[in-house]
Amino acid sequence: MTAVKIDGKAVSASIRGQIQEEVVGLKKQGIEPGLAVILVGEDPGSKVYVGSKEKACIELGYYSEVHRLPDTTTEEALLALIDQLNNQANIHGILVQLPLPKHIHEKSVIDAIAVEKDVDGFHPINVGNLMIGDDSLLPCTPAGVIELIKRTGTDMAGKHAVVIGRSNIVGKPVSMLLQRENATVTMCHSRTLNMREISKQADILVVAIGRANFVDHTYVKPGAIVIDVGMNRLDNGKLAGDVDYEDVLEVAGAVTPVPGGVGPMTITMLMQNTLIAARRAHGLK
Ligand code: NAP
């Protein structure tokens, strides 16, 4: 058996097409989704991400503001900018690019973003709403993971999903979203015993650990859906996932490549969240 490649680029392009159409409709009603992105410092990776977000806004017809601040920016100044954006009617989503310089407390910054503009889905109230199953802005990468699984045509209800990695931004929210889809979820982490055996029972395997090519075919049940969230820069400059893609191809039913799998979905889900926030701000469903 050779696994089907889950093409995150194609799924992302199709969702962006739908968003674009919706934006045209909203603009006719005088509504223009607006996203503000704040970058503090010179981290090269962060600069690339912020550039991609700005580009996506332009492509989709959003209003966009990018605030590029020096790494000497004080927490007070950053919080003042967030407060200003919280009160700015043409901004529906605020994203502070992480990581922040060490002298700024990430938690204080995330807490300061208005819940309804928290398009990253990191605010504790949004995290809590996700936990109890209330309406919330979903964290982008986990939402992208679920969307990719859905696009394989798989009904997650009753399936055994194994999530390797329990970070607040990926593993934990992915597990909550899988439970919402009625999957039976097992979480694995660095202290899990017999992880290979557990992983091998998964109908759906989501890997988010930050270890290049860690998961090979010995972790995969024949026919399983494998979603690789990992993004690891190798010494040769190439990007690698947490899953050894070529090795699992012969065993898995469907698998995401890196690049071109989960990665493209993250910004698309951010754009979708901004659209949702804009609609809600104008009293639309
Ligand atoms: P993280 O905060 O470092 O968390 C890693 C998790 O993996 C932890 O829960 C850790 O366990 C677990 N882990 C580490 N080594 C392990 C091992 N050998 N066996 C089992 N579990 C292990 O990482 P993250 O932020 O979730 O990111 C994970 C990966 O996803 C990274 O490669 C990151 O670049 C990528 N990522 C991609 C996107 C995207 O848009 N595609 C977005 C976010 C992250 P403990 O809790 O026990 O320490």
Q: What is the pLDDT of residues 78-89, one digit of tens each?
A: 999 999 999 999
Whether domain 30-116 has CATH 3.10.129.10: the reply is no
pLDDT-derived band at 135 (thresholds 50, 70, 90) equals confident
Domains 30-116 and 138-263 share a fold: yes
Q: Indicate the angle between helix axes 262-281 and 8-28, nearest 10 degrees.
A: 20
Q: Is 166 in the pocket of ligand 1 (CB under 6 A)?
A: yes
Q: Residue 97 catalytic?
A: yes
Catalytic residue (one of 20, 29, 43, 53): 53
Is there a contact between 56 and 271 (Cβ–Cβ < 8 Å)?
yes
Mean pLDDT of the chain: 97
pTM above 0.95, yes or no: yes
What does the pLDDT average to over 60-71?
98
Q: Which run of H or of E encompasses 69? A: strand 63-69
Say yes or no to pLDDT of 218 above 80. Answer: yes
**How far, rounded to the nearest angstrom, does the alpha carbon of residue 163 sit from its chain's CA centroid?**
15
Centre of ligand 1 from the C-alpha of residue 170, in Å: 8
Mean pLDDT of 211-229: 98
Is 190 close to ligand 1, i.e. is its CB under 6 Å away? Answer: yes
DSSP letters of 221-252? -TT-EEEE---EE-TTS-EE-SB-HHHHTTT-
Q: Is 279 near ligand 1, meaning CB less than 6 Å away?
A: no
Fold of 138-263: Rossmann fold (3.40.50)
Mean pLDDT of 223-234: 97
Q: Which is nearest to 173 in space by CA: 135, 207, 142?
A: 142
Compute the distance between CA of residue 244 and CA of residue 216 in angstroms, rounded to an integer: 5
For 177, counting Cβ atoms within 10 Å of its Cβ (0-12 exposed, 13-18 middle, 19+ buried), the class is buried
Residue range 177-211, pLDDT digits in tens = 999 999 999 999 999 999 999 999 999 999 999 99
Q: Where are the domains of the chain?
A: 30-116, 138-263
* pLDDT at position 285: 80
pLDDT in tens, 234-285: 999 999 999 999 999 999 999 999 999 999 999 999 999 999 999 999 999 8
> At 257, is the secondary structure helix, strand, or coil?
coil
Q: How far is CA 194 from the centre of its chain?
A: 28
Task: Return the best residue to mutate from 48, 167, 270 for the ligand 1 pocket (most ligand atoms within 8 A of CB).
Answer: 167
Q: Is the CB of 256 under 6 A from ligand 1?
A: no
Taking residues 114-130, what's their average pLDDT?
A: 97
Ligand 1 centroid to residue 215 C-alpha, Å? 13
Q: Which of 276, 188, 250 is nearest to 4 (CA)?
A: 250
20 as an active site residue: the answer is no
Catalytic residue among 117, 118, 120, 221: 120
Q: Rounded to an integer, what distance in angstroms lies between the CA atom of residue 47 and that of residue 40?
A: 9
Which spans in the chain are helix H?
A: 8-28, 44-60, 75-86, 106-112, 124-132, 140-151, 171-180, 195-199, 245-248, 262-281
Q: What is the CA radius of gyration of the chain?
A: 19
* Cα 147 from Cα 255, distance rounded (Å): 14
Average pLDDT over residues 143-170: 98
**Contacts within 8 Å (CB) and 24+ apart, 109-112:** 109/75, 109/78, 109/79, 109/82, 112/79, 112/82, 112/83, 112/86
Tokens standing for 176? 């909550």
Instruction: Average the pLDDT over 202-226 and give the result.
Output: 98
With the CA atoms of 213, 238, 143 and 6 taken in that order, what torsion angle do they form, in degrees rounded to the nearest 10? -70
